[in-house]
Amino acid sequence: MFKQMKNIDRAFQHVRTFTIAVVVVSACINGLAIIKTEQALKHAGDRIYILSSGKALEAFAADRKENLPVEARDHVRTFHERFFTLDPDEKVIQANTTRALYLADGSAKRVYDNLKESSYYAGIIAGNISQAVTVDSIQLDMKMYPFYFRCYATQKITRTTTIVTRDLVTEGYLRNVSRSDNNPHGFLIERWGILENKDIKVENR
């Protein structure tokens, strides 16, 4: 009888040990599954898909600090391309300069007003002149805030009889602002000024 009781007790201990082992293993598997699911969700949240020309392109989200210099340079480039790309059409000039002025403060507006008062835009329309700018390089100082920049560009002015190539150097500072449809990079150009704008080549057409 005692032997039978010992066997029952031993069997109970085995069952209890097995049950504890099953519970511990299940808890470990569930915990691992939860961790992997959270990692997968976080990884999926870092991916976005952009529809371009009917194709879905995968893109990855990143911390803004990682892309700050890239965004800053693109903001400066976009401003200069909009401000200095002009055609002999009042609506085109108005549209481009308006879009450019969303990216800068009153310093750019003063340059625009001075050009307008000196009949610069009227001369472009009257002379059927087209003007485009190519940004060659942008120097950034990200150590101090607001961020200082200097932009080196080439300006091409196409007239009826000549094509004038000009050297353009500007400088300014970048301040953080809220992103918007008109200002997707979230920067504002301050204290912007033209340091140099001189002819380097004149070609006959």
pLDDT given at position 30: 76
92 DSSP β-pair partners:
none
Q: What band does 2 get if pLDDT is binned at 50, 70 and 90?
A: very low
Instruction: List, in sequence order, the alpha helices (H) in 46-175.
Output: 64-84, 90-101, 106-117, 120-126
pLDDT at 46 over 90: no
pLDDT in tens, 17-45: 777 777 777 777 877 778 777 766 565 55
pLDDT at 154 over 60: yes
- 3-state SS, residue 141: strand
- 3-state SS, residue 205: coil
Average pLDDT over residues 115-136: 94
CB 173 within 8 A of CB 189: yes
Residue ranges covered by each domain of the chain: 2-48, 63-204
pLDDT at 99 over 70: yes
- 3-state SS, residue 188: strand
Task: Give the range among 2-6, 18-22, 148-152, 169-173 with minimum mean pLDDT.
Answer: 2-6
pLDDT given at position 37: 72
Average pLDDT over residues 53-60: 56
Q: What are phi and psi of 182, to 5 degrees?
A: -80, -20
Third-level CATH fold of 63-204: Nuclear Transport Factor 2; Chain: A, (3.10.450)
pLDDT given at position 121: 94
Q: What band does 48 get if pLDDT is binned at 50, 70 and 90?
A: low
How big, in percent rounded to 5, are the helix, strand and coil portions of the chain? Answer: 45, 35, 20
